[in-house]
Amino acid sequence: MTEQRKYVVGITDHMIGSPDLEVEVLGREVEIDFFATTDETLFAADRLARLDALMVWGARLGPRSIAHLTRCRGVVRYGVGYEKIDIEALAAAGIPFANNPDYGTEEVADHAVAMILSLQRRLWEHDARARGYRSGWQVHSLKPLSRSNRATVGVVGVGRIGTAVVNRLKPFGFRILGYDPGQPPGHEKAVGYERVDNAGDLFARSDILTLHCPATEETRGMLDANGLARMKPGAILVNTARGELIDDLDALEASLRSGHLAAAAIDTLMQEPPGDHPLLSAWRKREDWLAGRLVITPHNAFYSDHAAVEMRQNAARTVRILLDEGRLRNRITA
């Protein structure tokens, strides 16, 4: 006799193989419908209509699909960001939505701090230029090169990850400024940073600027030509948050070429994989003017073997709680 499953949970797509970990967490009474695509146009209406819950990795989810989620109790995003999810359309359909904030905090914070320290010490630039030295050695030390306790780090977004970054940077002696209108008064005293109430002021005062905020109406394009111009001359920019925060590669290239921006490290871009652009071409070709000054990692700041497991298990547990108790943890409202 065929076993009757109690629930059907859809999974749109998956970065890491088949959803075996999710099966373990959700249990035998749950049938998994694995769509195996990020292309929303390929989500069949009849399959969507069967779902008691939907888990989304990299796919978009808009009104076209949401209209067919007629029995769905909730949608859960594997990651933290939900720019690709139309939560207003979900709300209109009466379907609650949750993200998955409690994974990868340590990894993103470590990644950002590694970028900060490496660029502040000019490690990548020393490495790139040392390959060509044929005479002398220590005399080729790059200047300027300041001590950590003489440098100011500005943190945009002092939530979970921003706070973890602050805590990691404090032992190095950096002066730390933080900008986050969403944090209550006194948060800066509890965590240990100087609160700045204006983003432009933070930009102007920071030797190193690190981004840890979501993409919102306020933050999208905040480091465009105007934002970059407000940064302190010779500053370093680090982005492990959202590609939309730095949406003008022309402006970024101009700032790096002029030297107004000393260096930049980026884990997330507007277009991924990145397309053609003169700045990206110079980076790919290791052009001398950019040597060691632009570092790009493939949107994997969140990743470790442990975080990958944690992310999948936590998202599946959120669905399991929803099915068992009718309660959606980490709920996001429109």
- DSSP, collapsed to helix, strand or coil, labels residue 183 as coil
Tell me the whole-structure pTM to 2 decimals: 0.88
Catalytic residue among 242, 293, 312, 320: 242
Architecture of the domain made up of 105-296: 3-Layer(aba) Sandwich (3.40)
The verdict on whether 272 is a catalytic residue reads: yes
The verdict on whether 242 is a catalytic residue reads: yes
Question: What does the pLDDT look like over 114-137, one tens digit per residue?
Answer: 999 999 999 999 999 999 998 889
Structure tokens at 268: 């997330």
Question: What does the pLDDT look like over 287-329, one tens digit per residue?
Answer: 999 999 999 999 999 999 999 899 999 999 999 999 999 999 9
Closest C-alpha to 41, from 3, 12, 8, 80: 12
Catalytic residue among 24, 29, 88, 272: 272
Average pLDDT for 165-173: 98
Catalytic residue among 175, 299, 329, 331: 299
The verdict on whether 125 is a catalytic residue reads: no
Taking CA atoms, 195 is separated from 13, 207, 218, 223, 275, in Å, by: 40, 16, 18, 20, 37
Report helix, strand and coil shares of the chain as percent, to nearest 5: 40, 15, 45
Closest C-alpha to 219, from 196, 194, 239, 192: 239
User: In the chain, where are the structural domains located?
Assistant: 7-103+305-332, 105-296
What is the average pLDDT value for the chain, to the nearest integer? 94
Structure tokens at 141: 């030390």
> 7-103+305-332 with 105-296: one CATH topology?
yes
| Euclidean distance between CA atoms 249 and 275, whole angstroms | 11
**CATH classification for the domain delimited by 7-103+305-332, as one of 2.40.110.10, 3.30.43.10, 3.20.20.140, 3.40.50.720:** 3.40.50.720
User: What is residue 19's predicted lDDT score, i.e. its pLDDT?
Assistant: 82
* Alpha-carbon dihedral 7, 12, 13, 18, rounded to 10 degrees: 20
| Euclidean distance between CA atoms 232 and 206, whole angstroms | 6
